[in-house]
């Protein structure tokens, strides 16, 4: 947490606040939050934020120089992990107790804003990446395909010959990027597939049904600005609403929304997993 829908929501809500802004200064308040492959933050000074995006659970800011001669584009990447939060604040706003990095921005109107990266548990990472750094970052190179872009045939190929349990495969960022505990549980329930099934045991029809279910759940969550369970807020400071639609996640011991039987709880790939023993096979 945050997972794909939450990071996508942060990217969308952050865009109108930072696009076309120029980074004028930076302040690293916790050096341990900077990835070892990162360029110095000062290398971003004078670069314009051209857009925001997402890859898996990573938040991306695309940066280009405003000076000549042109230089290679950079990307500012933030891995929010458990409690990372990205928001802008007025000029002069002082850091909070969990602020890890600050970037001072000049807006197209000539005013000043501050972009904060806050992280209560300090598990998140910030990477100022030149193109070659991304190719040296094993996590980036090994990220699997985006689930919203996968075709049925591609997803069947992802699952083929994998003896691991299906939920473990969904959580593996090398197999599929962006899915975490919430959306694995919700997608499997919607597809009526037990989380401890071996991935290779799924038929082609079951794999297609699972992909469709995952895509439906992810799109529904994005439409509701993600799921706010503990710390997650979008770039406007607003909470998501998809947690109000959970069918299984966090509902162990409660009735199944389909059959009314009590939902079960187990562990798969070290993660708490809630499912219906009657509906999911």
Beta strands in the chain, from DSSP E residues, in sequence order: 22-28, 47-55, 58-65, 74-79, 84-90, 99-106, 112-119, 125-129, 264-268, 271-275
Q: Is the dihedral of CA 4, 6, 7, 12 positive or negative?
A: positive
Q: How confident is the model at residue 80 (pLDDT cuts 50, 70, 90)?
A: very high
Asked if 130 and 213 sit in the same domain, the reply is no
Q: What is the mean pLDDT of residues 245-259?
A: 98
Output DSSP code: residue 109.
Answer: T
pTM of the predicted model, to two decimals? Answer: 0.96
Confidence (pLDDT) at 70: 58
User: Residue 67's Cα: distance from chain center in Å?
Assistant: 32
Asked if 88 and 165 sit in the same domain, the reply is no
Bridge partners of 112, per DSSP, are 106
The CATH number of whichever domain residue 10 belongs to comes to: 3.20.190.10
CA atoms within 13 Å, Cβ hemisphere of 57: 24
Asked if 126 and 254 sit in the same domain, the reply is no
Burial of 212 (0-12, 13-18, 19+ CB in 10 A): middle
Q: What percent of the chain has pLDDT over 70?
A: 98
In a domain, 187, yes or no: yes
Question: What is the C-alpha to C-alpha distance for residues 46 and 48, in angstroms, rounded to an integer?
Answer: 7
Output DSSP code: residue 178.
Answer: S
Written as one string, the DSSP assignment of 203-270 is: -HHHHHHHHHHHHHHHHHHHHTT---SSS---TTS----GGGG-SSTT-TTSBPTTT-PBPEEEEETT
Task: Domain of residue 26: give its range.
Answer: 4-141
In a domain, 225, yes or no: yes
Question: What is the C-alpha to C-alpha distance for residues 151 and 175, in angstroms, rounded to an integer?
Answer: 14
Q: How confident is the model at residue 20 (pLDDT cuts 50, 70, 90)?
A: very high
CA dihedral 18, 23, 25, 27 (to 10 degrees): 50
Active site residues: 2-3, 57, 271
- Does residue 68 carry a pLDDT above 60? no
- Summarize pLDDT for 127-157 with one digit per residue, the tens: 999 878 888 999 999 999 999 999 999 999 9
In a domain, 28, yes or no: yes
Asked if 185 and 256 sit in the same domain, the reply is yes
């Amino acid at each position: 947490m945050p997972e794909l829908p939450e990071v996508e929501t942060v990217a969308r809500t952050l865009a109108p606040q930072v696009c076309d802004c120029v980074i004028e200064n930076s302040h690293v308040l916790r050096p341990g939050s900077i990835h070892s492959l990162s360029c110095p933050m000062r290398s971003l000074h004078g670069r314009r934020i051209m857009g925001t995006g997402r890859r898996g659970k990573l938040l991306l800011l695309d940066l280009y120089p405003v000076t000549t001669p042109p230089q290679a584009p950079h990307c500012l990447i933030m891995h929010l992990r458990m409690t990372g939060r990205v928001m802008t604040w007025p000029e002069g706003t002082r850091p909070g107790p969990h602020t890890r990095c600050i970037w001072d921005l000049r807006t197209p109107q000539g005013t000043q804003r501050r972009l904060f990266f806050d992280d209560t548990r300090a598990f998140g990472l910030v990477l100022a990446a030149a193109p070659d750094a991304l190719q040296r970052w094993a996590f980036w190179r090994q990220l699997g395909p985006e689930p919203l872009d996968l075709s049925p045939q591609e997803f069947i190929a992802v699952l083929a010959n994998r003896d691991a349990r299906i939920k473990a495969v969904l959580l593996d960022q090398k197999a599929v990027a962006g899915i975490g505990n919430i959306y694995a549980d919700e997608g499997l329930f919607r597809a009526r597939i037990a989380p401890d099934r071996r991935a290779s045991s799924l038929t082609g029809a079951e794999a297609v049904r699972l992909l469709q279910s995952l895509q439906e759940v992810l799109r529904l969550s994005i439409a509701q600005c993600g799921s706010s369970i503990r710390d997650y807020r979008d770039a406007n400071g607003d909470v998501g609403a998809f947690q109000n639609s959970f069918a299984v996640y966090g509902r162990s011991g409660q009735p199944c929304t389909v059959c009314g039987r009590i939902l079960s709880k187990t562990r798969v790939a070290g993660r708490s997993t809630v499912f219906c023993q009657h509906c999911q096979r």
